[in-house]
Structures are given as C-alpha cells and as structure tokens.
Amino acid sequence: MEEIAVKSWEEFEERLLPFFGGLSRIRKSPPRLTTPIFRGHGNATWSLKTTLERSAQHQLSMSQYFAKIRTVKPAVVSLTGKEWVLPGMFDPDYKPSTPPPGYEFMIYLRHHGFPSPLLDWTESPYVAAFFAFHKSNDHNNDHVAIYSYATRTMFRRKRSVKAGYIITLGPHVVSHQRHYSQQSRYTICVRPSENENEGFLYTRHEDIETSRSENFHVFTKYLIPRSERKKVMARLTLMNITAFSLFGSEEALMETLAYSIIEKGQS
C-alpha cells in the first residue's frame, strides 16, 4: 500500500483533481484504473478492519455468518416492522463474484452497528474527509487518513487456493437512506478455506493487499495533518456535508447544531 503524506488539505485536493479531471484519459491508457472509492479514518494508525474482525474471536465462513444473520432476522423484523427476503440456506456453490446472499440485510445491519464483514467506503472523497475529521478530540495522533481503493481493469489475476478476493459491492440496493446520502460502496474480502466444507472465509483486506495480488488491488493511504480540521470542516459544511445530512438522525442533528452554533461560532 502506498502512503502519501500531504502537508495541507489543498495538497490532498490537488492530488485528486488530476485523476478525476482526466478520468476518461486514464481509463484509455495503462493501468486503466477503475473509479476509486474512499474511506476516512480519524486516526492514521487505524488499519482497514471490518467490525466483524473487531468482534469475532476467529474467522467466520460466509455460510457461518449467513446463519448468524438469519438468527437475528426475526428479532429485527419484529422490533422494526421492516422485512427482508433471505434464502432458506446459504448456497454451497456460491462464488465470490456477486453480492453474498442477504446483502441488503447485511447493509442494514452494518449501518445499525451489528458486526459485519462489509467494509464501508464512499464514492466521495469529501464524505470520506468528514469521517476523518468530524471528531475533534477523540485521538492523539497528529494525522488522519483517507484511503482510496481502485483496481486495474486490464490486469489478469492469477488466483490460487491461498490467494483471496476483494469484491466491490453496491451501490444500487434497497437500503437505509444513509446508504445513499453517504454515497456508500462496500467491499468484502474472502479466501477459500482449507476445509472444503466451509467454502469461503471472510478475511482481512490488508492480508490480501500484501499477498500475491500482483498489484491488481491499488490502495493509497493519504496522511493529512489533523491541524487542517477547522478549515476542512468549514468547507464541508458549505457543501452541506454534515452529520445530519449524512446520518439524518436526531443525534446527528444535535452534532451539526453543536458544530454550527458552538464550535464554528467560536472561530
């Protein structure tokens, strides 16, 4: 993974503008990258971990995780009044080239805090910047991080039993409104289990990124000084990228008002 330390928010934007401005040109010449997606971290030392990785004590297979979300579905439906259609069982012949069974329900669970193998991204580097900068005093690290991820469209991967897959999912699904307000995309990372009965296991993105992927996956980690927060948050607010516009909850409304009336008002 390439790490790029920038000195200012303007330098970060300068590094992005040539790419988006020349996207059609880039797609016509090697390495023909896909449009990147982004993820913001409030602490530059945080790795690309899913909430499932942080919660589970061991790797789960795709079928094991599917069984768990089927178990919680009756409670979610009963208490929310919402409904999702899930298959009666996990397809043993599933191949990781399409969204996993129960994908829409998985998105709902992810947005509401249930441990998930989905790593959430956004199509907007500005939405990613909000997630990187919006908390002011939570961390002591001097830098935030914005990750970008793309793939090389002309690259022919050699997939081995040990190599894994990173699959980009979304965005056109029926989901919570914040899925669309945040311009959400998701990735899952899986690898074949050594136990044939288990099929594919959910695994770490960074394990695949550093394995024999032969540069098919293109990760970039931008390190931005936390001291840029005041400037960045003011610009994002002018773009209507706020806690309330992204989450839509009453708690997010209070966070947005607190920033506008108290924090920004004292600047």
Asked whether the whole model's pTM tops 0.95, one would answer no
162: confidence class by pLDDT, cuts 50, 70, 90? low
The pLDDT > 90 percentage for the chain reads 40
pLDDT classification of 264: cutoffs 50, 70, 90: confident
Average pLDDT over residues 247-254: 86
Q: What percentage of the chain carries pLDDT values higher than 70? A: 84
Find the domain containing 229 and state its range. Answer: 2-266
Q: Choose between 16 and 237: higher pLDDT.
A: 237
Q: pLDDT for 99-135, tens place per residue?
A: 899 999 999 999 889 999 999 999 999 999 999 998 8
Cα separation, 127 vs 13, whole angstroms: 13
Whether 170 shows a pLDDT value over 80: the answer reads no
Q: Residue 98: is it exposed, middle or buried by C-beta count within 10 angstroms (0-12/13-18/19+)?
A: exposed
Averaged pLDDT of the chain: 83
pLDDT band at 216 (very low <50, low <70, confident <90, very high): confident
Mean pLDDT of 245-254: 86
The residue-averaged pLDDT of 255-260 equals 85
Taking the C-alpha atoms of residue 72 and residue 25, their distance in angstroms, rounded to an integer, is 47
Q: What does the pLDDT read at residue 181?
A: 79
Instruction: List helix spans (H) across 81-152.
Output: 103-111, 125-133
Query: How far apart are the C-alpha atoms of 130 and 254, rounded to whole Å?
Result: 16
Average pLDDT in the 133-147 region? 81
* 4, 221 Cβ separation under 8 angstroms: yes
204 has pLDDT over 60 = yes
| Tally of domains in the chain | 1
pLDDT of residue 163: 63
Name the β-bridge partners of 201. 61, 191
Provide the sign of the torsion angle of the four alpha carbons 28, 33, 39, 44, taken in this order: negative
Which range (40-54, 112-126, 136-150, 228-242) has the least confidence? Answer: 136-150
Spatial distance between the Cα atoms of 183 and 120, rounded to a whole number of angstroms: 10
Q: What is the pLDDT of residue 160?
A: 47
